[in-house]
Amino acid sequence: MAWLFLLIAAGFEVTFAMGMKYAEGFTRPWPSVVTVVAAVGGIYFLT
């Protein structure tokens, strides 16, 4: 089960990294929301 959580967290981290590019300094609302949700999801699944 731990490996599954790690893979899900990795997916969130990749989404977070890509979201940072499209958020353009958090000036675009929807990519910013995706970025924040991905960051929280990644942290949740890593803990």
- d(CA 11, CA 39) in angstroms, rounded, equals 10
Full-model pTM:
0.88
The answer to whether 47 and 28 have CB atoms below 8 angstroms apart is: no
Residue 15 pLDDT: 97
Across the chain, which has 47 residues, the per-10-residue mean pLDDT values are 96 97 94 97 96
Parse the chain into domains and list their residue ranges: 2-46
Residue where the block lists tokens 């997916």: 11
How many whole angstroms from its chain centre is CA 46? 12
Q: How far is 16 from 38, CA to CA, in rounded Å?
A: 5
